[in-house]
Structure 1
Amino acid sequence: MSKTKIGALWEDKEVLFDLPFIYLKLRPGEKIFDRIEPIEDTKGNTGSKGRMIVTNLRIIWHSMSSPRINLSVGLNCIQSTSTRVVNSGLRGSTQALHMLAAYRSSRYEFIFTNLSPSCVRHYTSVSGVHKAYAASRPYRDLKLRSAIIHNKQLRILPLERICLNEHSIWNLSSESGNLGTMVITNVRVVWFADINDSFNVSMPYLTIESISTRDSKFGEALVIATRPSSGGYVLGFRADPRERLHSLRDELQELHRAYCERPVLGVEMTWNEQPSKPPTDDIEELEEIGEPRGEMGPNLYLASQLAQYKSDNEVQPVYNAYLGLAIEPLKEGFTLKSLFEVQTSS
């Protein structure tokens, strides 16, 4: 398997198992909404405590005793979420998150059990993020002849802003061409015909493979090629006057490059009420998942992650008589014994 973190988006469209750590790192634009533990993958890894990570693109689960055992479920693959009473290897008969997913010709069933009594955050987080993902498809999907124009104005998405509004742009998809308007935003490129605004196309930068100019039977044209996963369309446009074409191409290339560095994926979550066990304070600030270091128990693994995130003020070491050394003050809830104790799941 060969993936690229700056190329086509795959994290939301695939179901994968036992991935190398590099494929569990967050891609540009991916962010964590929730981290929940301990969670048991009751169907695939019963009896093993793990951590669930909910991002704006996928659901990640990994074993805490052996992080090499993991799975990544793209939000686009999820068909349904519900609750079901199951027999957990660690909790016995209990209610769990039941999730159905599909990838290519395969169908998958996942059952995740929260080992913390009376905690349903794993269900509310997954179902909420999945709904937010489904409602934000215009940020990621190429659309043809859709209801995106009202009174000759583009319907703006919540995180979208208009960068350029170019009139007298010809779409070269027919023998004579169609005169229209091109609206360029921080998220997508939209073109619609002046005489019939239902004849339109919306191309998120995420779907665009390349932007260039080349000769055509109409003269020099702006050519936008989309990725094979988005249909592999090659769309040509001509500007009047023609001298605008190169500057328009340069603007589009620059906006496309900026988007690839910091994508706007459109999946946003607002917690209407505090969950029973709120997400940790550093969830929204995390840029990547901490790399597992060998076979760590839960306390040692969590402590190693917490140690990576320090406050703005430099923490002064303190003398520890037990070790005879100056050490960084321990986080609340940790002791020297728990840091050196290797735990295994029972």
Structure 2
Amino acid sequence: IGWDCVLALTIQTAKSRIQGIVRALFVHCKINGVEYEFTFSAGKQSPKLFSTLQTVHRSYDSTRVYRRIKLRGALFNRKELKMLPFEESVSVHKGVWNLFSTKGSLGIMHITTLRVDVDGLQVPFPFDRVFPEQVRMMAAFKTTLEKHTARGNQVGMVQMPTGTGKTVACLSLYLAYRAKYRDRVDKLMFCTRTIPEVSHTLEELGAVMQCRERHGCDDNIVCVGLSSRQRLCVHSQRPRYTL
């Protein structure tokens, strides 16, 4: 069994004839169109073995796209890549080996602008790489917006690690959703804790807007950064006054 055949790894309790009730690892696989399930129980001396296997599988699954060749729709014309509508070339690297097969092949790698598909919603993304956490967050955000418009007053809580691009993922998804469903959403109030985070949010929004303009999107929106008078007023005496 190779990692490419593994569909899912789950840890559940199982009944063993030798050890009784134990924690077991269920490996769901698919080989040549036939699905199998294998069950493994660990000894008492290796309690973290199952968690390690799950971590390795997540690492393999998140990098699967780099090992597979998929025809995305663009064709080659006289050995030149024919771009998709509103697609731009970021960089071209010659002499890159493709290791999809055991023998490999030498070619040219084209890096183009990125557009993420979130459950059928095309989301232009301003960077040439998107993290799996960002895709999952955009999917959760889209689900929350859909439930809010259908039922009203729906709340979604999404947690992401620091530095994984929460701001740009949120803004990219919202603008794409607003452009497609203008009658469902209106304003977005993005709250931050500090003034530097306000500046960072405005910079990220500028990058997202430039990306959407390159993709031919006409959003026609106004963005305003707000804070307290004590923090933003430039007058030397005015911040001391209170209402």
TM-score after normalising by structure 2: 0.34
Q: Which has the higher strand share?
A: 1
Q: Which has the higher helix share?
A: 2
TM-score after normalising by structure 1: 0.25
